[in-house]
Structure 1
Amino acid sequence: MHAPDGFIDAPVSAAAGLVAAGAIAVSLRGARRELGGASRPGGAESGGERTAPLAGLVAAFIFAVQMLNFPVAAGTSGHLLGGALAAILVGPCTGVLCVSVVLLMQAVLFADGGLTALGVNITTMAITTTIVAYPLFRGLVKVLPRTRRSATAASFVAALVSVPASAVVFTLLYAVGGTTDVSLGKVATAMVGVHVLIGIGEAVITALTVGSVIAVRPDLVHGARGLKQRLKLRVNGELVDAPKAEPEAVPVAARSRRKVWITGLVTSLVLAGFVSFYASANPDGLEKVATDHGMDEKAEEHATAGSPLADYGVEDVDDARLSGGLAGVIGVGVTAVAGTGVFWAVRRRRTRDTADATSPSGTSV
């Protein structure tokens, strides 16, 4: 659902940019809490040391999976938006930042999603999906039995609902600032209809990922923390409490986190570098609707169309498989580095603020 330049007029694009900037500013403050974790007696913290490295990995994974367009209808494809997945794994505020980092990398390096439309894309793909999915997930997890299956089902429903919600917000923005005279009723029907189908694919990917992480490290799933009852896993046909890392088990937990991070990174590289070659070449939902209804009449060429990585290929590499694979690997690497850098900085700011607050003077600098 990457909107290109020219779909939405300048005033509405600018307004969406302000909304996106405000949401990112709020998310930066919220991410400090999510990445900082909960304080233990004695000043130690839990959660943050796990979430900060995972957040960069989540951004890289979303970038990789977004390259895997899947067919949803005749001549139409869809791809992961990622807001629901990121919010459930690392928290809503950190999730907004994860998807925003991905969208920025895609727009600047790969000419995917317009630069002037970046605010529109962040509003629809990062903010809307997170705002819709995370409260729905938390609500379902609280009322359902505390099992892995329930959490996985809740993530499925949350992701499914978030995609057509994103389509509705884009349609509203187009109704106010669209640059072509089209039937908004037909556009709304087409957008919501195709994105319900795309939402099913999003839900499957999100549920499989969340379920897999819960199976090995349930404590890494931010959305399942803070529940009154411990999450349960089925072991040999019996429900048992999910393992809880104790202070003395930190070295073991650290090794486990590294294993999860390495596995996630390798998976992302394989998806972007190899599996992406087999992705559907059909236009995605927004592109298809825009073509069918004339919304693309005033679409503008991307400002970075001459980028060496434009259209997810490496310039001067003639072999399509190699070119796309290299571009995917580069994208995963750059996104992982950029995301990790952002979250490391946010985490460091949190640590400094905590130290200032607990200093003998009792005041922050």
Structure 2
Amino acid sequence: MHVPDGFINAPVSVAAGVVAAGAVAVSLRGARRELDERIAPLAGLVAAFIFAVQMLNFPVAAGTSGHLLGGALAAILVGPYTGVLCVSVVLLMQGILFADGGLTALGVNITVMAVVTTVVAYVTFRGLVKVLPKTRRSVTVSAFVAAALSVPAAALAFTLVYAIGGTTDVPIGRVLTAMVGVHVLIGLGEAAITAFTVGAVIAVRPDLVYGARGLTQKLKLRVGGELVDATPEPERELAPARSHRTRTVWLTGLGASLLLAGVVSFYASASPDGLEKVAADKGIDAKVEEHAAADSPLADYSVEGITDGRLSGGLAGVIGVGVTVVAGTGIFWAVRSRRTAEDASPAATRTSSA
């Protein structure tokens, strides 16, 4: 659903950019509370994984394909504020390096694909988790429903933006019906990917899933015929094992991202995605503009100068994963360091002592 240059007029693009900048600023502050010692090492990896999976377009219907948006997945794994930042990093890398999503439309894309999907998904997810039994299966089911709803919500948001600032005069009702209809189907694919990924992480390290915190029940021992809480091991004794398991999850996730982007992406559907298909059918792409980064050596997810399509696309995917994980990790560690510095400040120390 990457909106290209020329779909939305300049005033509305600027307004969307202001909204996106405000959302990112709020998310940077909110992420300081989310990026603890468990989440911070994984946030950059989540961004890289979303980049990789977005390369895997899957067929939906009538010559149309879809791909992961990632807002629901990021929000559930690392928190809603950090989730907005994860998807925003991905969109920035795609726009600058791969000419995917217009640069003048970056604000629209962040608003629609990062902010709307994350907010809708996380609100839905938290609501379901509160009413369902506190089990791992409930978290996975909640993730599925939240992801499924987030995609048509993003399609609706784009249609509203287009109704206000679209550059072509088309019947907006038809655009709305087509956009929401096809993205309901794409949402099912998003839901399956999100639920599978969240379920896989929960199975290994439930404490690393932001949305599953509080899920782990205290260990009970039977003493004299009665169940009593077991004495937990000291944190210092658990720390080395947790660090090792976190490193294992991180390396496994990075390896999976590189495999998906470098190899599996070659077998992705070549059909236009939901927005591209609707744009062509309804004529909203009449004034589309060439991307400002069309001459990038990585434009269209290929490496300039390499003629073998499989090698070119795979290498571009690997580069994209590498750049995204480095950029994302750098940003999130900077935010985490800012929180650490604030916690260690004299004012914070006095407040704690009081």
TM range (shorter): over 0.9
Aligned residue for 1:71, secondary structure, equals: strand
How far off its partner does 1:230 sit? 3.5
Q: Aligned pairs, how many?
A: 340
Q: Is the 8 A contact 2:112 2:158 kept in 1?
A: yes
2:115 alignment partner, SS class: helix
Report the secondary structure of 2:142's partner residue.
helix
Name the residue aligned to 2:341. Answer: 352
Q: Does 1:33 align with 2:33?
A: yes
Tell me which of 122, 126, 133 is aligned to 2:114.
Answer: 126
**Over 2 Å off, 4+ runs:** 229-232, 357-363
For the Cα contact (< 8 Å) 1:146–1:231, is it kept in 2? no
Question: 1:1-365 residue pairs with structure 2 within 5 A?
Answer: 1-35=1-35, 48-226=36-214, 230=217, 247=235, 248-357=237-346
For 1:139 and 1:213, locate their aligned partners in 2 and report how far apart those are by CA, in whole Å: 21
* 1:146 CA drift (Å): 1.4
CA distance in 2, matches of 1:164, 1:246: 46
Is contact 1:245-1:253 (8 Å) kept?
no
Distance across 2 between alignment mates of 1:93 and 1:85: 12
TM-score with structure 1 setting the length: 0.91
Name the CA shift for 1:292/1:142 in 2 (closer, same or farther; >3 Å).
same
* Distance of aligned partners of 1:256 and 1:74 in 2 relative to their CA distance in 1, 3 Å threshold: same
Cα separation, partners in 2 of 1:223 and 1:245, compared to 1, 3 Å: farther
Per-residue Cα deviation, 1:119-139 (whole angstroms, up to 9, x for no partner): 000000000001100011111
Q: Which amino acid aligns with 1:75?
A: G
CA distance in 2, matches of 1:252, 1:87: 26
Deviation per residue, 1:326-354 (Å, 9 max, x gap): 00000000000000000000000000000
> What is the RMSD of the two structures over their aligned residues, measured on CA atoms?
1.7
**Pair 1:351–1:71, CA change in 2 (3 A):** same
Relative distance call for 1:52 and 1:322 in structure 2 (3 A) is same
Specify the alignment match of 2:225 in structure 1: none
Cα deviation 1:269-305 (Å, max 9, x = unaligned): 0000000000000000000000001111000000000
Q: Is the 8 A contact 1:79 1:202 kept in 2?
A: yes
Matches of 2:351 and 2:252 in 1, distance apart? Answer: 43
Give CA deviations for 1:46-75 in whole Å, capped at 9, x if unaligned: xx1110110000000000000000000011
Any idea what the Cα deviations from partners look like across 1:25-61, whole Å, max 9, x if unmatched?
A: 00000000001xxxxxxxxxxxx11101100000000
Task: Give the deviation of 1:360 after TM superposition.
Answer: 5.8
In structure 2, the CA distance between the partners of 1:13 and 1:246, relative to structure 1 (3 Å rule), is farther
* Residues 343, 349 of structure 2: 8 Å contact kept: no
Find the counterpart in structure 2 of residue 45 from structure 1: none
Identity across matched positions, percent? 75
Q: Work out whether residues 224 and 231 of structure 1, in 8 Å CA contact, stay in contact via their aligned partners in 2.
A: no
